[in-house]
Structure 1
Amino acid sequence: MEINKDHALECEILTQMAKSAIPLGANLLSLSIDSSQATIGRVLLGLEHQGYLEKSSNKGRIITERGQAYLKQLNDHQSINSSTEELIKISTSTDKSTLLEVLATRRLLEKETAYLTAQNISDEQVQELTEIIDRQQEQKSRGLLGEKEDLEFHCRIANISGNRVIEQILNLILTQKNVYQDFSYIRQKLITRSSNDHRSIISAFANRDPESASQNMVNHINALIEDIEECY
């Protein structure tokens, strides 16, 4: 569930209702909620129609058991959204210590995606990854970063791995704003040596060797960590 403004107001109203020992109406709620009586009244009516509130004579409305369950759902999703926003904030930072934390997290996750991909990958997918790295090398030969191809390579491995949870976490970490471009630019400034890390990972995939694929991915990310630690 995506928590929009209407859901946020519903959550605020239901929270007040759950805390109150007396029935509440739009008039009383407007004293503690930053919204007009008309808007609050409209939301109250909608919540009542859905069974989350019920009228208590002429005094106002009270929250139902179904409303309590809905309030918990709203709070749970707000907590998830807050955690997601914090993860995005962390993953888009270019602070040295934060970059190292993100890379350490990637190492744990991508070690597993490489292992699973070596088990699941088809010949066509091996060729697809090879073509991505060929395009990246072409970009670098023209003096460009090749960060889009680098990002595509890592995200595609996560996809082929079949672990949808890890794939979504990595997509969240890697694809926010220009985080990958910024990281590629930082690394290019720090170090000039080239690496065949991606080719070695692909080779392990082609050989259907999960252990080597996993270790090659770890070595690749360790090299990124060393670049940041030594030169940033």
Structure 2
Amino acid sequence: MSEIEISDKEYEILSIIESIEGPVGSGIISQKISRDYDSFSEATIGRILRRLDKKGLTEKEPYRGRLLSEKGKVTLKEYRLDRRMKNEIDKFLDLTKVERRQELLDMLVARRAIEREVVRLVTEKISDAEFEKLREIIKRHHTDFEKGESYGQGDKNFHLMLAEIAGNSFLEASLKMIRNNEDYSPALEQMRTIVGSKIVWDHNQILKAIESGDPDRAEEAMVEHIENIINDIKVYWETDFE
């Protein structure tokens, strides 16, 4: 999610400034808005431009107009990425249907019940070699996250590796059935990215708890992780990202 929030009108004005070479005056912005967008007054345009200046997204050249600052270019790019990601989510999940939302939450509640038991078993029996495998998965996961690449596979690998180490075939099969639901996995990843959460941090906390050898602590870390996901989804549904 973009670090600087902008409104739809701010986005429209930034897009116009970006599309024109050289400084852009309010008159040109007004003309393009009346042609390409829902029209709003020059007074409103002036207020928005001053707001963009204050946010550091535009740079004013006296008597000539405005240019996008470097911060403005980055913010515009991130805003478009957020929009595109939301559109992708909507392809996987019809967020207007309450029953689909409840289905997703039910799935996460099931994961919470399964994975709290998984991580307790892991803490009691994990070998040094298995611990290093988990550490390597998190390391690759972190690299993908920092590059802005899809990190859903890293998340999936971490949880399925825990289930394998636990050695309970029923728990492992149940988790695989849930995690292999292709309708939900991409949507979950993108929802969490939009609301700004970092799955990698959660996984690090789980790994530290496992390393401590305390099953109660490990269970607590896993439950917190799943509840973070549930909370992120609720934040997404309650927030207007359009």
TM-score (norm. length: structure 2): 0.55
What CA deviation, in whole Å up to 9, does each residue of 1:60-79 have, x standing for no partner? xxxxxxxxxxxxxxxxxxxx
Q: Does 1:203 align with 2:208?
A: yes
Q: Separation in 1 of the partners of 2:188 and 2:198?
A: 16
Note the alpha carbon deviations across 1:179-214, whole angstroms, 9 max, x for none.
32232122222x113352111111121122111111
Residue 194 of structure 1: aligned partner: 198
After the TM superposition, which residues 1-232 of structure 1 pair with which residues of structure 2 at under 5 Å, given as runs?
95-177=100-182, 179-189=184-194, 191-194=195-198, 196-232=201-237
Which ranges of structure 1 fall in alignment gaps of 5 or more residues?
1-91
1:173–1:93 CA distance, 2 compared to 1 (3 A): farther
For 2:215, the aligned partner's letter is P
Identical-residue share of aligned pairs (%): 30
Q: Could you say what the CA RMSD is over the residues aligned between the two structures, in angstroms?
A: 1.7
Q: What is the one-letter code of the residue matched to 2:205?
A: S
- Counterpart in the other structure of 2:44: none
Q: Deviations over 1:123-173 (max 9, x none)?
A: 111111111011011001111131101000001101111111010011011
Q: Aligned to 2:115, what secondary structure does the other structure show?
A: helix
TM-score after normalising by structure 1: 0.57
**For the pair shown, which has the larger CA radius of gyration, 1 or 2?**
1
Checking the alignment, whether the CA contact within 8 Å between 1:96 and 1:228 is kept in structure 2 is no
When residues 225 and 133 of structure 1 are mapped into structure 2, their CA distance, relative to the original with a 3 A threshold, is same
Shift of 1:175: 1.3
CA distance in 2, matches of 1:205, 1:93: 34
Q: Distance in 2 between the 1:130 and 1:153 partners? A: 9
Unaligned ranges ≥5, structure 2? 1-91, 95-99, 238-242
- Aligned length, in residue pairs: 140
